[in-house]
Amino acid sequence: MVLYLIGLGLFNEQDITLRGLEAVRRCSRVYLEAYTSILLCGKEKLEALYGKDVIIADREMVESRAEEILDGADAQDVAFCVVGDPFGATTHTDLQLRARERGIPVRVVHNASVMNAVGACGLSLYRFGEAVSIVFFTDTWRPDSFYDKILANRRLGLHTLCLLDIKVKEPDLAALARGRVVYEPPRYMTINTAIQQLLEVEERRKEGAFSNSSLGVGIARLQADDQQIVAGTLEQLLEVDFGAPLHCLVLAGDLHVTEREMLEFYMMGTTDGCGCGNASGTQQES
């Protein structure tokens, strides 16, 4: 029998591939990984399409109780469904290794992820450097390890994709200290928060990785019907309401002439092209 790692794409239940859908329908159990990213639809829509129940796999299950997912996969097919592509997060590589250690065959069904769909903003994927993750700052933890990677990309003239933090089913530490397990409400980092944190780090480091006037591209709900792409300086993007999650941010490097022409469609203050360069930035189908 087989453990399937199946990419679901970026938007809703319809983004699964035909190959992925056929695999899901063959499986006795179907898990949905629900903490590295989110689909922009509820699991009930997945269940209606798949014709079977979907088990939510949170961080605790995937990282601490992975054996529950693998148990029985040597006798029946099991599907582990991932928003985007299965290898967008190292956790899923670990699950594959665990399965192979137990002699369980693994088959992967790939799909679109933010790592390639980000090209929708007009910047060439060949000109992206190392991607970085921006996590929520706290009063006592304000990490800046991403800064060196952004600076290295900047010196090479490369673009940087910034993946923004999401907090799903995070324990309330104060309640935990009192012996109670209480989960905080879900939080999804906005482009605005990410820029504020980036500028705070630049003010501290002062090495010139970016500034208020650096060109950025804010992308919200990539692939959705109300996908939003807005280009402008970081200072300008701070004033944009990007709406509901998920968000990501691109820090632009050196621009090829074609990239510059494409970004004009999304630049704040312009209304040519598809009309998505204003502050709302909503992309219309052409």
- Residue 173 half-sphere exposure toward CB, CA atoms < 13 A: 1
- Judge whether 88 is annotated as a binding position: yes
Residue 157's CB: how many other CB atoms inside 10 A?
Answer: 12
114 is in an annotated binding site: yes
Q: Let me know: does 262 contact 231? Beta carbons within 8 Å.
A: no
| C-alpha distance from residue 274 to each of 69, 129, 186 (Å) | 45, 28, 34
Tokens 């299965």 found at:
86
**10 in a known ligand binding site:** yes
Q: Is 164 annotated as a binding residue?
A: yes
222 is in an annotated binding site: yes
Q: How many residues does the chain have?
A: 286
Pair of tokens at residue 153: 């990309």
Interhelix angle 43-50/18-26, rounded to 10 degrees, is: 80
Residue 85 counted as an annotated binding residue: yes
The rounded distance, in Å, linking the Cα atoms of 163 and 133 is 5
Copy the structure tokens of residue 242. 């990007």
**Residues placed in the known binding site:** 10, 85, 88, 113-114, 164, 222, 247
The annotated binding site for S-adenosyl-L-methionine is made up of 10, 85, 88, 113-114, 164, 222, 247
